[in-house]
Amino acid sequence: MLVSSSSHLRRELATRLAPLNWHLYEAASGAEALEALTLQGNIQVLLLDPALPDLLPSEFQGLLGQVFPALEVLTLDTAACKVASSTHSLSTLSPQLTAVLNQEEGRSQLQLTPRLNEHLRAPSGGPRLRGVIGDSAAMQRVFSLTHMVALRDTTVLVTGESGTGKDLIAQAIHQISPRRNAPFVVVNCAAIPEALLEAELFGYAKGAFTGAMQSRVGRIHAAQGGTLFLDEIGDMPLSLQGKILRFVEQGEVQRLGSNENIRVDVRMVAATNADLKSQVQQKLFREDLYYRLAIFPIHLTPLRERGGDVVKLAHFFASRFCPGVKLSEPALNLLRTHNWPGNVRELRNVIERASIMAGAASEISENDIIL
């Protein structure tokens, strides 16, 4: 993978690697690189242009070393990268990169392992998030990314299947951010009818429509100083997406029925289980809004791909619903083999139901588990 904001540098390197049949992943920012590393799982070498547009090189490399310990990182000389960007030539790059590209041993160095994720290990004692359970490598990455971005006002897009806990990540970002003492306002874009959503978000002035007997502050304004969480952003009507883009870019809202622009200081976190890139291609979601939201993406892996997290979560929920009652080994085996299409939410419901079925028993058996 090459991480550089220079499209010229990325294009030149892709040209050089093409005859060698090496697959090159490209990323224009640190956040984009972290997303690709998490989703692909088969990247072995990373070439880093330290002039990142979104993250400090030190914190980016620190995170790479923590959650991708098997990844080899080659840092390109900053001055050489600038020359390469302007001359379109790789001959000015660092000797280390030249060796990797031109020497035969460099070729073996860039061979991709079939399953790099098998060699990744979650760092012991790594950062945690209150209310979020998981020891898998995938969750350790989420923990680290969340802690990193929470200290900034960067817009975050949390993606993942339904039931993976996107709302918990949004809450965690707020709780460990400098805005923690200000409001955390949630808007479910799929739960509010389209005709009412604009008024809910932006508020309205007295007389703006029939029944508007007095002015009302919208939920964006209500989050002043804090965090606005737009859940299920993929269901937001196209007619409103332009106004949300204006709010994100300019920090202003305009109530229905008013010409006054109101300045707001709000950090936005959005979440979706939809494929927004596909929606952009289908003209169902604005491309400019997508890229504005996805400055720092955090992807939540499905529970079925999180290994031992199933058992850890099952014990956690069992202790909540029936303290002192344990799960039998046959019950745990049943949970391990289930595919969990509903993810963590489904597991929670299964354990709550099983705790009721167990009655006064000292343990939850496999007969109490209904899948």
- The whole-angstrom separation of Cα 56 and Cα 33 is 14
Question: If you average pLDDT over residues 233-254, what whole number do you get?
Answer: 92
Domain boundaries of the chain, sorted by first residue: 2-119, 150-300, 303-368
Nearest to 290 by CA among 233, 227, 228, 232: 233
Whether the predicted model's global pTM rises above the 0.75 cut: no
pLDDT above 70 as % of the chain: 81
Q: How many other CB atoms sit within 10 Å of the CB of residue 136?
A: 19
pLDDT at 121: 34
- pLDDT, tens only, 230-239: 999 999 999 8
Q: In this predicted structure, what is the pLDDT of residue 354? A: 96
* Superfamily of domain 150-300, CATH level 4: P-loop containing nucleotide triphosphate hydrolases (3.40.50.300)
Cα radius of gyration rounded to whole Å, the chain? 24
Question: Is residue 214 scored above 50 in pLDDT?
Answer: yes
Nearest CA-CA partner of 270 in 255, 291, 250: 291
* Residues 43/121, Cβ–Cβ less than 8 Å: no
Write down the pLDDT at residue 182. 94
Q: What H or E segment, with its residue span, contains residue 217?
A: strand 216-217
What pLDDT, on a 0 to 100 scale, did the predictor assign at position 254? 85
pLDDT of amino acid 41: 67
292 residue type, one letter: R
pLDDT bin (cut points 50, 70, 90) of residue 197 is: very high
Give the tokens for residue 36. 């690709």
Asked if domains 150-300 and 303-368 share a fold, the reply is no
Lowest mean pLDDT segment, chosen from 25-34, 180-189, 279-288:
25-34
28-80 pLDDT, tens digit each: 888 778 777 877 767 888 888 888 877 777 778 877 877 777 788 888 765 55
CATH superfamily of 2-119: Response regulator (3.40.50.2300)
How far is CA 245 from each of CA 157, 231, 235, 292, 299, rounded to the nearest angstrom? 14, 16, 15, 8, 22
CATH topology for 303-368 is Helicase, Ruva Protein; domain 3 (1.10.8)
**How confident is the model at residue 288, as a pLDDT?**
94
